[in-house]
Chain A
């Protein structure tokens, strides 16, 4: 049994991380989960939160907003709409993101309003608890 799995984190603009991890914390929309190697294949949507991957060089943390995680026995691929290394994001940056999301929610079309509103709520919750 393998004790590591391939961990990839990509955003539309670049690949943020790609290494072998022994454990990955994924902020799934139905709840956080820690993924270990040989996990059952799952595809889940993400909510705003922290992705924490334990690799050879220690733990790395990333902030993701929305996206999808594709988990199979040998790999975890996180396809995030926005992703940043944790260290790069201050509280103010997160506030700015939140403002942006709020604005987007206000101008969203009717079908989108529900999900945009939910997104703002989740993001606000996350920013509050971040500190």
Chain B
């Protein structure tokens, strides 16, 4: 039976914890709003890019096309880019991505393919390192970055493309959490090399006479545009993944901290009841002692 003093200390400590989780929840809520705005603001660019790449890919489909579009002709070596958060305390956010990636690694290995891993974000690296340290080829550290900008994505894309040019891998896939709502983030895998234009969600943006069947002229040639555009398309996909991931992280943290705050409240209630009971018990014991003492006289 803990003493009254111990109980009091515990209640105090849980109260402090509750204050911290409450504060983290509110910070996450504020950051979530900003992250969501950023994700929203980045969408038109990604959609426009997808559309252009789509029409270019269609136009270049008859020819061989650059290596980035057509692939290296094999799919033996897979590069998995696992994007996670730099910080913990965000519920299952990091674990769910790692779980999906691990599943994929097992599938690929069962199919006899070689796998390499590039991690973005510290938490994912820590988790992957336990099992897959021997196949991890690199890590991108974003812990110094306050706000993810396009430049960060472009740097990651350059790194990946340099590896592709060196023939280090044939297919690259990114893993990230797609933001659906505050309480639901969907771990997603998306192939980025060879480039496959992701189907845009909102269609043709409501612009008239702008269907995919329009035949474009290209200036300079298709090939030149493609070679210039494809690396950027890769960067764009990484950038939107980073933004989605950022929003998801804050959403996950917010709901995790909300739960933690609630649990702390319950814990305090329970401890308070226990505290009151033992105080009552102590008083009763003392009373009995006094009465017993008085009677003995």
> Is B267 close to A, CB under 8 A?
no
The answer to whether A68 touches B225, judged by C-beta atoms less than 8 angstroms apart, is yes
Contact B217 A8 (CB under 8 A): no
Using a CB–CB cutoff of 8 Å, the interface residues on chain A facing chain B are 6, 8, 10-15, 28-30, 40-45, 68, 70, 72-75, 77, 79, 81, 109, 111-112, 115
Cβ A12 vs Cβ B219 within 8 A? no
Given contacts A13-B42, A109-B162, 14 further A-B contacts (CB under 8 A): A10-B48, A12-B42, A13-B41, A41-B215, A43-B55, A43-B216, A44-B220, A45-B229, A70-B48, A70-B216, A74-B210, A77-B48, A77-B51, A79-B45
Q: A42–B228 Cα gap in the complex (Å)?
A: 16
Contact flags (1/0) for B25-40 with A, using CB distance below 8 Å? 0000000000000100
Assess the A41–B214 pair: CB atoms within 8 A.
yes
Do A12 and B218 touch (CB < 8 A)?
no
Q: Find out whether the CB atom of A8 lies under 8 angstroms from the CB atom of B52.
A: no
Distance from A68 Cβ to chain B, minimum over Cβ atoms (Å) = 6
Chain B residues within an 8 Å CB radius of A41: 214-217
In the bound complex, residues from chain B placing their C-beta under 8 Å from that of A8 are 44, 48
Determine whether the beta carbon of B48 is less than 8 Å from that of A79.
Answer: yes
Q: Are A75 and B236 in contact (CB under 8 A)?
A: no
**Cα of A43 to Cα of B158 in the assembled complex, Å:** 24
Q: CB-CB < 8 A to A109: which residues of B? A: 158, 162, 165
Partner of B208, one of A11, A42, A74, A115: A74
Q: Is the CB of A12 within 8 A of B236?
A: yes
Cβ–Cβ contact B150 & A29, under 8 A: no
Asked if B218 contacts A10 (CB within 8 A), the reply is no
A-B CB contact pairs (8 Å), 12 listed: A10-B44, A11-B45, A13-B150, A28-B219, A29-B219, A41-B214, A68-B229, A74-B210, A79-B45, A111-B165, A112-B158, A115-B228
Return the CB mask of B198-223 against A: 1 if under 8 Å, else 0. 00000000011110001111111000
**Contact between chains at B239 and A12 (CB < 8 Å):** yes
Contact of A73 among B48, B52, B209, B225 (CB under 8 A): B209
Are A74 and B225 neighbours in the complex by a CB distance under 8 Å? Answer: no
Which residues on B sit within 8 Å (CB–CB) of A29? 219-220
Contact A79 B49 (CB under 8 A): yes
Question: Chain B residues near A45 (CB, 8 Å)?
Answer: 219-220, 224-225, 228-229
Docked-complex contact A14 and B41, CB < 8 angstroms? yes
Q: How far is the CA of A112 from the CA of B78 in the complex (A)?
A: 24
Q: Does B88 contact A (CB under 8 A)?
A: no
How distant is the Cα of A31 from the Cα of B41 in the complex, in angstroms? 30
Does B149 reach chain A (CB closer than 8 Å)?
Answer: yes
CB-contacts of B140-171 with A (<8 A): 149-150, 153, 158, 162, 165
A79 surroundings in chain B (CB, below 8 A): 45, 48-49, 52
Among candidates B41, B228, B229, B236, residue contacting A15 with C-beta atoms closer than 8 Å = B41
CB distance from B199 to the nearest CB of A (A): 18
> What residues on A are CB-neighbors of B239 within 8 Å?
12
The answer to whether B268 has its CB under 8 Å from any CB of chain A is no
A43 contacts which of B38, B42, B56, B232 (Cβ < 8 Å)?
B56
Residues of B within 8 A of A14 (CB): 41-42
